[in-house]
Amino acid sequence: MRLSDMTRGEAPGYALVRADAAALLHGAVRHESELEGWIRPWRFSADQMRAMGSCQAWHPGLYRQMGRATAGVCLEFTTDSSEVAVEVRLDGEPVGTREVLKYVDAREAGQQGTAREAFARQAGAAAPARMHDGLSCEVDGRPLGVRVPAPADDQVTFTLDDPSAAPAEGVMQLPGMGDTHHVRVWLPCLRGCTLRSVVGNGSFIDPVEKRRNLLVLGDSIAQGFVVDDPALAWPTLLAAELGLDVVNQGVGGQVFQPGTLYGLAPAIDPAAVVVALGANYRYEPCRERLVTRDVRSFLGQVARLWEGVPTWVATPLWHDEDAWPSHRMSCFEVVPRLIREQASRFDGMRLVDGAGLLDHDAALMADGFEHPGPAGSRQVARRLGLVMEQASTPQEELRERALSLLAKAPRRTFVLAECLRRGVGSVICARPGCVALREPGGMQMVWATDRELAKDVACALMSDSVTLCLEPSLADDLAGWLGLPVKDPVHLAIYRKKARPRVDAAHPVRPLGPQDLSAVRQRMTHPEFQTDAQTLALLGEGNVLGAFAGDELVGFVGEQTEGSMGMLEVFEDFRRHGWALALESAKICQVLDRGQTPWCEVWPDNVASVRLQRKLGLTVLPATEACFLAKSRGSAPEDAR
């Protein structure tokens, strides 16, 4: 007999185990008791609901509707049942929800034109049956999809056992005799619901201990419009990656509304806060002065309530302005700047560039212009997770992780590993499939084998500054993601010998000092690739060596900001007399004395320099293994040998 038959039979309690839904809730701020054992979960405090419905709200009626939705709330438990039934009654679909879904339904119907035109054609048509929402079950990390109660029914049933793990085809374990399952049932994100109990055919249903919270303060995109599955809203996905329970306070249509956080702090224990508001200013007239005031006040309340809690403030995601233009009296154009300026006023708040969290691709939008679908929501969660990881993980830990990942990587990644060993720059990413670094001069280095991860890192964490790509198969893609159209192959030359090169006494070389700054800067072929301060620092550390014919300076060699040997200059009257060999030999010895491995970058067309590296015993890698990506050829770092 199936569970659904047993729960509706004459003796519905026979051979079943039952748990109150209230004991299994995660992500709810509170719950209210109703008649006959039913409860209503809330993700807002009573004070918050009053504030959102007050005259100070932009759209109090809409916010009251959205506030009843159970976005981010789930039932979480362990059980040995093979089937469970959740007693649930869904609220009717809010009018505000249906208005947004009309755009999605029009797009799915294959209608052409802009989003506004599609909506105009859809207006007045019968609403489609598809709900875009429901209860979503995940068993041992395996998604079962979205279910809704049948008409006139008040329960949803899920089969928990994995058919692929059955003893034989068509054979399932007896109830209570199978494995223990970890179950999450996500409640609807676009409407509210009431719950009573969870019923199973096993011997126990145990609650899972609550975790600390990821608090998300956002709008309809955070709430879950329009991902079609409450488990796929980006706050839910991000919280799962972070090992936290999400408290999703995304509200369709919401803006920075001061006073909407009252009563929340005592009910939650946030380990991190994400603020993702601002997109809705584009739909209505607004004044920069008033928006600035509200942003400052709202962020100030967040800072006071959760002082010391890491807080990320994101500017709005990309939207398709052509498909749905902003209101001509809106101040939305300056909203990202206002958010940046106000977030910078508060210690502990970290700014996130929302434009990099989502590809600028209307195909990722469920409505074609603003609300991400499932793929877009996953992308936002992945990229925001990368940003949070990079900012919150100590650099020492990231370096160790990156070096471990590079231990068995191709030989061309040596230069990246050497920078890590020397403590040069900051680690951008250290995950299986991608290691990236930003050196003090702003140049980036990246090696990646996971294309999706590499794209996420490039879009969310990297800039359009010069980049050394150490994975040939990704060079063209990386250039496109970063907006760096120029690709210049480069030789990497590495000194792997134990013996030191011979120093020629006939060509004396000694360190230069800060007093030589003017002489060095005037003679550098490409002074634009280092600032005066960077060159001065090298001189102060004794890392620029000068060659002297008597008392006359005839050339010098130094280092690039990433630590490679470079800046090699031999003045015209002294070329082809062994000075380049003497200078680089001395530089190699200096690097070896520091316990480091000398290396350099050489352009393929610099035949003399390639010949010099080989003469000195450096291993010269083919120029097909690495390349510089830049906006223009004049912006690529030069080795002036």
- Specify whether 438 is located in the same domain as 526: no
Is 127 part of any domain? no
Q: Is 203 helix (H, G, I), strand (E, B) or coil?
A: coil
**pTM score, whole prediction:** 0.90
- Specify whether 514 is located in the same domain as 631: yes
- Specify whether 528 is located in the same domain as 631: yes
- Specify whether 529 is located in the same domain as 625: yes
- The string of pLDDT tens digits covering residues 374-418 is 999 999 999 999 999 999 999 999 999 999 999 999 999 999 999
Instruction: Report which residue type is found at 564.
Output: S
Tokens of 131: 């709900």
- The string of pLDDT tens digits covering residues 579-608 is 999 999 999 999 999 999 999 999 999 999
Torsion of CA 186, 192, 194, 195, to 10 degrees: 0
501-512 in b/e form (b: 16+ CB < 10 A) is: beeeeebebeeb
- Specify whether 525 is located in the same domain as 409: no
Domain range for 586 is: 509-635
Is 614 part of any domain? yes
Question: What value, to the nearest 5°, has the Cα angle with vertex 211 and ends 243 and 162?
Answer: 60
Instruction: State the pLDDT at residue 498.
Output: 87
Environment class of residue 634 by beta-carbon count within 10 Å: exposed (0-12), middle (13-18) or buried (19+)?
exposed
Instruction: State the pLDDT at residue 167.
Output: 62
- Specify whether 466 is located in the same domain as 517: no
Query: Are the C-beta atoms of residues 239 and 212 closer than 8 Å to each other?
Result: no
Is 162 part of any domain? no
Q: How far apart are CA 19 and CA 87, in angstroms?
A: 11
Q: Is 505 helix (H, G, I), strand (E, B) or coil?
A: coil
Is 283 part of any domain? no
565-596 in b/e form (b: 16+ CB < 10 A) is: bbbbbbeeebeeeebbbbbbbbbbbbbbeeee
- Specify whether 424 is located in the same domain as 542: no
Q: What is the Cα 292 distance to its own chain's centre? A: 26
Q: Which of 484, 518, 552 is the last residue of a domain?
A: 484
Tokens of 98: 């249906």
Tokens of 206: 């145990």
Is 468 part of any domain? yes
Q: State the DSSP string of 543-591.
A: --EEEEETTEEEEEEEE-TTS-EEEEEE-GGGTTSSHHHHHHHHHHHHH
Is 103 part of any domain? no
- Specify whether 532 is located in the same domain as 629: yes
- Specify whether 450 is located in the same domain as 553: no
Provide the domain count of the chain. 2
Residue numbers in the chain where pLDDT is lower than 50: 1, 10-11, 112, 126-129, 636-641
- The string of pLDDT tens digits covering residues 242-285 is 999 999 999 999 999 999 999 999 999 999 999 999 999 999 99
Is 402 part of any domain? yes
Domain at 604, CATH number: 3.40.630.30
- Specify whether 479 is located in the same domain as 513: no
R_g over Cα of the chain: 31
- Specify whether 547 is located in the same domain as 627: yes
Tokens of 289: 């002065």
Q: Which of 451, 484, 517 is the last residue of a domain?
A: 484
Tokens of 476: 């063209």
Is 596 part of any domain? yes
Query: Are the C-beta atoms of residues 616 and 584 closer than 8 Å to each other?
Result: yes
- Specify whether 480 is located in the same domain as 525: no
